[in-house]
């Protein structure tokens, strides 16, 4: 096998603090949860495999907040909340500056990393991937509301209050074995600035997003209307 592309996650950077333009070598003092810890552990395995298999070039990509058609996580859940409640609760009114990655851009990065032009790059090297368009969470949510044509208001809630609600939901979820609508980790991701520096991917892989953030939201909203849960 000439190339092996491993999809990791920027979650291993997250530490419940504001961070902008995070570079690949950043590590928090402690990981936020087991998911982040598992991603770091998987990258350690990739490093060991790279040492044991010198004829295969291993690539680690860390795409931030993947979204697009067939997504079952952030945007579909957000859209369901919009439709059901008519409002979205965001800590600090959605002022957090965030990065996202449309699926097609992540696939493009995978393709670039597999090309012969990248064969000279070090094995097991990691690259941040995003759309490279940091936006406030509020502007992203508002764009989705507009594209879905849903009557919905964005409501600002103090982060500590929303976090208390999330922790209570988690405890209730543990007792009922049902996934809570909010979690401590999920609410925190909505509260803190979190953007990536993708300079390394641009310079070394030749990466440039092929679908803009706005176009990605438009395509995702269209899919949700035509094929997703909002179709019901």
* Tens digits of residue pLDDT in 32-74: 999 999 999 999 999 999 999 999 999 999 999 999 998 888 8
Q: Which fold has domain 3-231?
A: Rossmann fold (3.40.50)
* Tens digits of residue pLDDT in 3-12: 999 999 999 9
Residues 166 and 155: their CA atoms lie apart, in Å, by: 16
List of residues 6+ apart from 159 with CB closer than 8 A: 91, 92, 187, 191
- Across the chain, mean pLDDT equals 93
* Tens digits of residue pLDDT in 188-226: 999 999 999 999 999 999 999 999 999 999 999 999 988
Residues 18 and 195: their CA atoms lie apart, in Å, by: 9
- pLDDT score of 32: 96
Domain limits, the chain: 3-231
* Tens digits of residue pLDDT in 140-171: 999 999 999 989 999 999 999 999 998 998 88
- pLDDT score of 179: 75
């Amino acid at each position: 096998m000439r190339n092996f592309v491993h999809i990791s996650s920027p979650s291993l950077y997250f530490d419940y603090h504001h961070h902008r333009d995070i570079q690949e070598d950043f590590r928090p003092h402690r990981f936020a949860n087991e998911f982040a810890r598992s991603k770091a552990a998987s990258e350690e395995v990739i490093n060991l495999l790279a040492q044991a298999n010198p004829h295969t070039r291993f690539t680690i990509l860390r795409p931030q907040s993947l979204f697009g058609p067939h997504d079952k996580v952030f945007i579909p859940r957000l859209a369901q909340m919009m439709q059901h409640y008519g409002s979205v609760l965001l800590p600090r009114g959605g002022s957090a500056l965030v990065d996202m990655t449309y699926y097609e851009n992540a696939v493009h990065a995978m393709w670039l990393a597999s090309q012969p032009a990248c064969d000279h790059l070090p094995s097991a090297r990691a690259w941040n991937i995003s759309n490279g368009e940091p936006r406030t969470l509020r502007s992203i949510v508002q764009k989705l509301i507009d594209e879905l044509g849903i009557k919905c208001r964005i409501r600002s809630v103090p982060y500590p209050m929303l976090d208390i609600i999330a922790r209570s939901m988690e405890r209730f979820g543990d007792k009922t074995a049902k996934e809570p609508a909010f979690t401590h980790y999920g609410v925190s991701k909505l509260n803190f600035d979190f953007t990536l520096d993708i300079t390394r991917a641009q310079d070394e892989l030749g990466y440039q997003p092929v679908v803009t953030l706005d176009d990605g939201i438009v395509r995702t909203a269209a899919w949700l209307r035509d094929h997703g849960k909002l179709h019901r």
